[in-house]
């Protein structure tokens, strides 16, 4: 990971396991992904009980009702590519409020399957670009009634012209590949963080795509 | 001044969404809307790819129910090859789907929705979640986690991985059942059954007590219900229509069993059959979709009733409403009890939670039955053929409802056109109506100027959506009915009329 920018100072350092010590403040974030990475996180199954002793989930679409990304998050696992204006805004605000940002899964790392639409915006792929191409197909050609692009400023985000990997819009500290990264890989990463490893050294088994 | 109350994002939900309430100048509720705020556009960018890749690509629509896409893609592929898959493959696919429905329903009930019932609507939002449940009722949380794990583990034992396996392929499946896998499943089945029994007991007690108001007011209205049924009219989750002549797609007045061919059935809230024995191949003749500018999720409707009168619901509750019976003893007893509570056709969307638990019972009994079938272990699991057709429609019942894959390919098997009708989208009209009904029931009228709506009331609006367990990853990333073939268009005057009407 020589291309990694220098690690920002995380506000958190690992406490010894035990009662009363501060817990790691963990966020999980879902941008343009399929939630498979989040499902792999839930595949930690009973390990979640162990994790809960040392980690507080302070923000998560599936495991928290907190609506606003909180301040002073230690680690964020960010699933998904950056495909629309909401994704972009959330990525920027979580960067400001998080010590360590993890590109969590292949979509965050490379744009992966959501990024396939970028091909539609390639030179020679037709006019209009990739966003227009998918909107046209979805909401005009394939509508039986009331065709038209969904548009509700302030409520519906706009699609970005190119679907981007996370590191294209904010500095990223760690990459955890896989589509999704299976639960044991996620556990290995979290355990390294809980041991206080900086930078985190992941083994070859944790660094596989697909 | 009129104002808009926004819930953003809706949490404990599989996808990105907002809810808005429009209040007029006097604080009266004018409108409540469920906005889905994401779109990836699979139906366009799959073009040009080999149809054999569709399983791997479309599985990435959704990490919760990738198996549904895998199966629908494989079944569409079977039809493109024009093969009948080996019996063992058909049974293994059924096992896979039963495992997937179990794990997905366990996720919906234990991980996502039970914190509302068990910790309370008014409990601390920072703790009203799976981790809060783990802290307050660790035994129940652990049982739920292990029930989901049971389904996920079967998927891994069959397909090599829990999420985005590519085990089902056109012509069958890649590998037979390993003996060790069978033993593992058999050993864990009793625990899974005990967990769902526990959950049913807890849930029914809540229904008799504190959840009565929710059962009455969370999206309780008449609509159509659609789902697959088997040849005898029983609960079905995978096989579509099989052979023979269709029974008037879109036409009214079907009655009795599905003519021995299974297929899709549509039942009205008064119990009457609106259509029966519908072929998945004809879906575009009876389903259509509308677009609203305020959501990326389209609004499918039953074509002959028009938009939005053609509102219908799919998923666990719809499957239980359309079938005559399930076909296994415990599940059938639970179905009888559900109908005693809700009437022959349950119209409250809150009953989806109950239906999900009944379906887990059906899945576990189905898995048990399959494991007793010696043919399940037959090593012949794949039929091979080259491309024999240019167009096909595959259907399966995803945990959230009926899923259609429709491909057209060229002579080389490259996709020229793809359409996917996803379960959750078909509940869009019903989800919006549910939000409005809950808002009318729970939000004070009028809301005095300057008054904030309390958080527990807003949480109830979100919980109305959670009843449907919507998978927004799925539903917005691929939706739309593919225009019919030109010759079909020429033969079908109604379709032309509806297109013009919307334009
Ligand atoms: S990396 Fe794979 S599993 Fe994760 S969100 Fe993307 S498609 Fe889904």
- What are B292's two structure tokens? 């609203």
> What is residue A148's predicted lDDT score, i.e. its pLDDT?
80
- What are B463's two structure tokens? 């919980």
Q: Would A126 be classed as within a structural domain?
A: no
> What is residue B474's predicted lDDT score, i.e. its pLDDT?
52
The candidate with the shortest Cα–Cα distance to A75, out of A122, A145, A7, A131, is: A7
Predicted TM-score (pTM) of the model is 0.89
The four Cα atoms B52, B56, B58, B60 give a dihedral, to 10 degrees, of: -170
Please give the average per-residue pLDDT across A3-29, as a whole number: 62
Q: Does A55 touch chain B (CB under 8 A)?
A: no
Contact call for residues A69 and A27 (beta carbons, < 8 A): yes
Q: Would A8 be classed as within a structural domain?
A: no
Write out pLDDT tens, residues B280-315. 999 999 999 888 888 888 899 999 999 999 999 999
- What are A38's two structure tokens? 């989040």
Whether A157 has a pLDDT exceeding 90, the answer reads no
Contact call for residues B224 and B313 (beta carbons, < 8 A): yes
CB contact under 8 A, A146 and B131: no
Neighbours of A153 (CB within 10 A): 7
Q: Would A18 be classed as within a structural domain?
A: no
Largest separation between any pair of C-alpha atoms in chain A:
62
Q: Between B35, B111, B129, which is nearest A156 by CB?
A: B35
Contact call for residues B226 and B258 (beta carbons, < 8 A): no
Contact call for residues B115 and B256 (beta carbons, < 8 A): no
Q: Would A2 be classed as within a structural domain?
A: no
Strands (E), B117-223: 168-169, 172-173
Owning domain of residue A73: 24-116+161-207
What residue owns the CA closest to ligand 1's atom 2? A179
The string of DSSP codes covering A49-102 is HHHHHHEEEEE-TTT----SPPSSEEEEEEESBEEEHHHHHHHHHHHHHEEEEE
Coil, strand or helix at B411: coil
CB contact under 8 A, A134 and B39: yes
pLDDT in single tens digits along all 503 residues of chain B: 677 888 877 777 666 778 888 888 888 888 888 888 777 778 788 889 999 999 988 888 888 889 999 999 999 999 999 999 999 999 999 999 999 999 999 999 999 889 988 998 888 888 889 999 999 999 999 999 999 999 999 999 999 999 999 999 999 999 999 999 999 999 999 999 999 999 999 999 999 999 998 898 899 999 999 999 999 999 999 999 875 433 333 333 333 334 568 999 999 999 999 999 999 999 999 999 888 888 888 899 999 999 999 999 999 999 999 999 999 999 999 999 999 999 999 999 999 999 999 999 999 999 999 999 999 999 999 999 999 999 999 999 999 999 999 999 999 999 999 888 888 889 999 999 998 998 898 888 888 877 777 878 888 888 888 899 887 655 444 333 332 222 222 233 333 222 222 22
For residue A140, give the DSSP letter. Answer: I
Neighbours of B68 (CB within 10 A): 33
* Residue A201 CB contacts under 8 Å (≥ 6 apart), including other chains: A192
Q: Would A178 be classed as within a structural domain?
A: yes
Contact call for residues A70 and A97 (beta carbons, < 8 A): yes
Please, is A49 exposed, middle or buried when counting C-beta atoms within 10 Å of its C-beta (0-12, 13-18, 19+)?
middle
Q: Between B44, B288, B503, which is nearest A120 by CB?
A: B44
Q: For residues A202 and B438, which has the higher predicted lDDT (pLDDT)? A: B438
Length of chain A counted residue by residue: 210
CB contact under 8 A, B482 and A142: yes
CB contact under 8 A, B502 and A146: yes
Neighbours of B218 (CB within 10 A): 27
From first CA to last CA, the distance across chain A in angstroms is 18
Q: How many domains does chain A have?
A: 1
Q: Does A117 touch chain B (CB under 8 A)?
A: yes
> What is residue A14's predicted lDDT score, i.e. its pLDDT?
54
The candidate with the shortest Cα–Cα distance to B154, out of B375, B355, B364, B402, is: B364
The candidate with the shortest Cα–Cα distance to B6, out of B37, B26, B33, B38, is: B33
Q: Is the CB of A115 under 6 A from ligand 1?
A: no
CB contact under 8 A, B11 and A149: no
Q: Does A186 touch chain B (CB under 8 A)?
A: no
Residues B129, B133, B134, B140: is their CA dihedral positive or negative?
negative
Q: Would A19 be classed as within a structural domain?
A: no
Coil, strand or helix at A178: coil
Q: Would A108 be classed as within a structural domain?
A: yes
Contact call for residues A137 and B480 (beta carbons, < 8 A): yes
Q: Would A196 be classed as within a structural domain?
A: yes
The secondary structure element, H or E, covering residue A88 is helix A85-97
Write out pLDDT tens, residues A112-129. 988 888 888 876 666 577
**Mutate which of A32, A38, A107 to test ligand 1's pocket (most atoms within 8 Å of Cβ)?**
A107
Q: What is the CATH number of the domain that holds A183?
A: 3.40.50.700
> What is residue B304's predicted lDDT score, i.e. its pLDDT?
93
CA distances from A60 to A67, A84, B454 (A): 9, 19, 22
């Amino acid at each position: 990971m020589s291309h990694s920018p220098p690690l920002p100072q995380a506000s958190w350092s690992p406490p010894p396991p035990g009662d009363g010590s501060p817990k790691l403040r963990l966020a999980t974030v879902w941008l343009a992904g399929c939630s498979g990475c989040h499902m792999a996180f839930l595949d930690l199954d009973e390990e979640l009980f162990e994790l809960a002793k040392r980690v507080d989930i302070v923000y998560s679409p599936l495991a928290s009702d907190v609506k606003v990304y909180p301040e002073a998050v230690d680690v964020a696992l960010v699933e998904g590519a950056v495909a629309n204006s909401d994704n972009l805004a959330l990525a920027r605000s979580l960067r400001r409020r998080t010590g360590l940002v993890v590109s969590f899964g292949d979509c965050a790392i490379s744009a992966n399957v959501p990024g396939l639409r970028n091909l539609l915006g390639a030179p020679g792929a037709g006019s209009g670009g990739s966003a227009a191409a998918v909107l046209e197909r979805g909401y005009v050609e394939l509508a039986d009634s009331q065709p038209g692009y969904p548009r509700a400023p302030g409520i519906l985000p706009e699609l970005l012209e190119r679907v981007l990997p996370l590191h294209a819009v904010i500095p990223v500290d760690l990459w955890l590949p896989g589509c999704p990264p299976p639960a044991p890989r996620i556990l290995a990463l979290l355990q390294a963080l809980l041991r206080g490893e900086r930078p985190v050294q992941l083994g070859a088994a944790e660094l596989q795509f697909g | 001044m009129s104002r808009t109350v926004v819930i953003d994002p809706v949490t404990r939900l599989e996808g990105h969404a907002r809810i808005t309430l429009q209040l007029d100048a006097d604080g009266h509720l004018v409108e409540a809307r469920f906005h889905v705020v994401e779109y990836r556009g699979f139906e366009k960018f799959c073009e040009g790819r080999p149809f054999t890749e569709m399983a791997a690509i479309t599985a990435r629509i959704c990490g919760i129910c990738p198996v549904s896409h895998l199966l629908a893609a494989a079944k569409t592929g079977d039809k493109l090859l024009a093969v009948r898959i080996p019996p063992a493959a058909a049974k293994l696919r059924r096992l896979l789907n039963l495992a997937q429905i179990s794990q997905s329903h366990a996720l919906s009930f234990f991980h996502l929705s039970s914190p509302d019932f068990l910790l309370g609507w008014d409990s601390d939002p920072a703790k009203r979640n799976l981790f809060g449940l783990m802290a307050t009722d660790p035994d129940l949380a652990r049982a739920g986690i292990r029930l989901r794990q049971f389904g996920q583990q079967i998927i891994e034992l069959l397909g090599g991985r829990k999420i985005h396996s590519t085990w089902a392929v056109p012509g069958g499946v890649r590998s037979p059942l390993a003996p060790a896998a069978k033993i593992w499943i058999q050993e864990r089945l009793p625990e899974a059954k005990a967990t769902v029994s526990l959950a049913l007991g807890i849930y029914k007690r809540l229904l008799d007590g504190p959840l009565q108001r929710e059962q009455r007011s969370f999206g309780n209205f008449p609509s159509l219900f659609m789902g697959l049924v088997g040849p005898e009219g029983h609960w079905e989750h995978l096989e579509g229509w099989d052979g023979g002549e269709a029974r008037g797609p879109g036409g009214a007045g079907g009655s009795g069993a599905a003519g021995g061919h299974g297929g899709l059935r549509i039942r009205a809230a008064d119990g009457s059959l609106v259509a029966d024995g519908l072929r998945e191949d004809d879906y575009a003749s009876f389903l259509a979709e509308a677009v609203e500018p305020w959501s990326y999720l389209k609004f499918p409707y039953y074509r002959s009733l028009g938009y939005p009168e053609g509102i219908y619901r799919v998923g666990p509750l719809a499957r239980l409403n359309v079938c005559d019976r399930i076909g296994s003893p415990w599940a059938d007893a639970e179905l009888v009890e559900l109908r005693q509570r809700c009437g022959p056709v349950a119209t409250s969307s809150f009953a989806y939670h109950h239906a999900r638990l009944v379906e887990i019972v059906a899945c576990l009994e189905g898995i048990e039955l399959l494991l007793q079938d010696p043919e399940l272990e037959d090593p012949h699991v794949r039929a091979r053929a080259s491309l024999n057709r240019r167009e096909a429609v595959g259907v399966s019942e995803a945990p959230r409802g009926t899923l259609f894959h429709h491909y057209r390919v060229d002579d080389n098997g490259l996709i020229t056109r793809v359409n996917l009708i996803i379960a959750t989208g078909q509940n869009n009209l019903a989800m919006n109506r549910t939000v409005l009904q809950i808002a009318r029931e729970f939000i004070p009228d009028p809301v005095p100027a300057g008054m904030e709506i309390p958080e527990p009331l807003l949480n109830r609006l979100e919980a109305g959506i959670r009843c449907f367990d919507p998978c927004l990853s799925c539903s917005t990333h691929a939706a739309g009915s593919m225009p019919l073939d030109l010759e079909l268009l020429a033969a079908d005057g109604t379709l032309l009329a509806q297109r013009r009407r919307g334009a």
